Amino acid sequence: MYWTTHIAVGALLGSRSRSRLSALAMGAISHPLLDTIPHYDFKNKIFSAGDFIIGLALLNLLVDDRDNSKIILGALGGGAPDIEGGLVYFHLISKRRAYFHKLFPHSKTSLARALVQESLIIAAAYLIVKNNQKKPPSNPAFVLPVRFKLNSVPLRPKS
């Protein structure tokens, strides 16, 4: 499964968690469960690198100006198990030691189908996190100076 999908779902679960520890744990548990959904793993390492960068960019979009520790820890827990893939690729561990990806069966589908399915999962996770963030920010001092400045700009020159 794409790393970006793991980041999105991990961030969502983290945002709904009661503590930082459970955010991290929920993210990590979601990883092997998501991998049971038929998916397509990139063979091309350039695409894997692109997926990694898009995942980080998504995480950057998911945080706001409040305490984001649970979102970040959830995403970290969700994304971390794929470090195994990197370790296998660089021959730092053998493939049979990639335990995290042996917990549940991996099933495969076509690239096109995976892209559609996972884009929907990512979009849903993004929208839910953003919707929850619509509540007024806990620190209004961040907003007020901006508003004050805008209001103090005269709309018309004084005659």
- As measured in angstroms, the least distance from the Cβ of 82 to Zn ion is 4
Q: Name the residue nearer to Zn ion (CB basis): 58 or 68.
A: 58
Q: Which of residues 74-113 bind Zn ion (CB under 5 A)?
A: 82
Q: The tokens of 127 are what?
A: 């929208």
* Residue 12 and residue 61 in contact, taking contact as beta carbons nearer than 8 Å: no
**153-to-42, 104, 141, 150 alpha-carbon distances in Å:** 52, 60, 19, 6
Q: Name the residue nearer to Zn ion (CB basis): 82 or 118.
A: 82
Q: Name the residue nearer to Zn ion (CB basis): 31 or 70.
A: 31
Q: The tokens of 87 are what?
A: 């370790």
Upper half-sphere CA count for residue 47 (Cβ side, 13 Å): 9
The mark string for 6-45 relative to Zn ion (x by CB under 5 A, - otherwise) is ----------------------------------------
- As measured in angstroms, the least distance from the Cβ of 108 to Zn ion is 13
Q: Name the residue nearer to Zn ion (CB basis): 1 or 23.
A: 1
Q: How many residues belong to the site for Zn ion (CB under 5 A)? A: 1
Q: Name the residue nearer to Zn ion (CB basis): 3 or 71.
A: 3
| 118 CB-contact burial (10 Å; exposed 0-12 / middle 13-18 / buried 19+) | buried
Does residue 51 touch Zn ion according to CB under 5 A?
Answer: no
The residue type of 115 is: L
- As measured in angstroms, the least distance from the Cβ of 101 to Zn ion is 6
Upper half-sphere CA count for residue 39 (Cβ side, 13 Å): 21
- Contacts with Zn ion, residue ranges (CB under 5 A): 82
